[in-house]
């Protein structure tokens, strides 16, 4: 499995530039499609995770499922998937690069957005949190919501959704 570092070019086309976020399964990089000369986000699976024979199959299957699910999404609030690879040499998902957010930005959002819209979002987050999901399911939900960067340290996806819901609710 390929090791990832800034400056590395994946699939002869995608140059990794800097890490935008870390998640349970790997990293999301800011990169450049050197052929089309456009910025991209590149999600990679951690090489150490794939090096464990008892976890490799599960990790690759989850990553492939996420890539296919994300590729079928067509909505203004989701990122566009440009390319994906799940091979012995490289495991990556190449997407549209979008600006991310922090919890401080969530506070600003709550203060400047229609309260009815904020209440609706809080309700939807609480419904999501009420489901019997594990962290992998929350990560997939985040991808489906267009959140292509892992939650900021030290949050897991579930804890990040909880923090956002509480913050938006004014708690």
- Asked, for residue 16, whether it belongs to a domain, the answer is yes
Residues with Cβ within 8 Å of 162's Cβ and at least 6 positions away in sequence, in order, are 125, 129
Question: In the listed set 55, 81, 96, which residue is the last one of a domain according to the structure?
Answer: 96
Least confident of 53-62, 108-117, 140-149: 140-149
Give the pLDDT confidence score for residue 115 in this predicted structure.
85
In a domain, 4, yes or no: no
76 and 37 in a common domain = yes
Q: Is residue 79 part of a domain?
A: yes
Cβ-based neighbours of 34, under 8 Å, separated by 6 or more: 9, 13, 14, 15
Is 1 contained in some domain?
no
35-47 per-position pLDDT tens digit:
999 999 998 888 7
Q: Which of 29-38, 64-73, 138-147, 160-169 has the highest mean pLDDT?
A: 29-38
How many Cβ atoms are within 10 Å of 98's Cβ, its own excluded?
A: 16
Residues 22 and 77 in one domain: yes
**Number of independent structural domains in the chain:** 2
Q: Could you list the residue range(s) of the whole structural domain that residue 23 is in?
A: 9-96
Q: pLDDT tier at 153 (50, 70, 90 boundaries)?
A: low
pLDDT at 123: 81
């Amino acid at each position: 499995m390929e090791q990832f570092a800034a400056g590395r070019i994946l699939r002869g086309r995608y140059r990794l530039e800097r890490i935008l976020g870390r998640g349970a399964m790997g990293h999301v990089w800011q990169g450049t499609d050197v052929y089309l000369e456009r910025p991209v986000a590149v999600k990679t699976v951690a090489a150490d995770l794939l090096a464990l024979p008892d976890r490799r199959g599960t990790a690759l299957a989850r990553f492939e499922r996420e890539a296919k699910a994300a590729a079928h999404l067509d909505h203004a609030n989701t990122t566009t998937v440009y390319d994906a690879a799940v091979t012995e040499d490289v495991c990556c998902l190449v997407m549209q690069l979008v600006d991310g957010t922090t919890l401080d930005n969530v506070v600003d959002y709550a203060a400047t957005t229609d309260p009815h819209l904020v209440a609706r979002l809080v309700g939807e987050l609480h419904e999501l949190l009420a489901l019997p999901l594990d962290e992998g399911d929350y990560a997939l939900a985040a991808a489906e919501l267009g959140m292509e960067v892992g939650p900021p340290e030290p949050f897991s996806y579930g804890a990040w959704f909880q923090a956002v819901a509480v913050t938006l609710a004014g708690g």
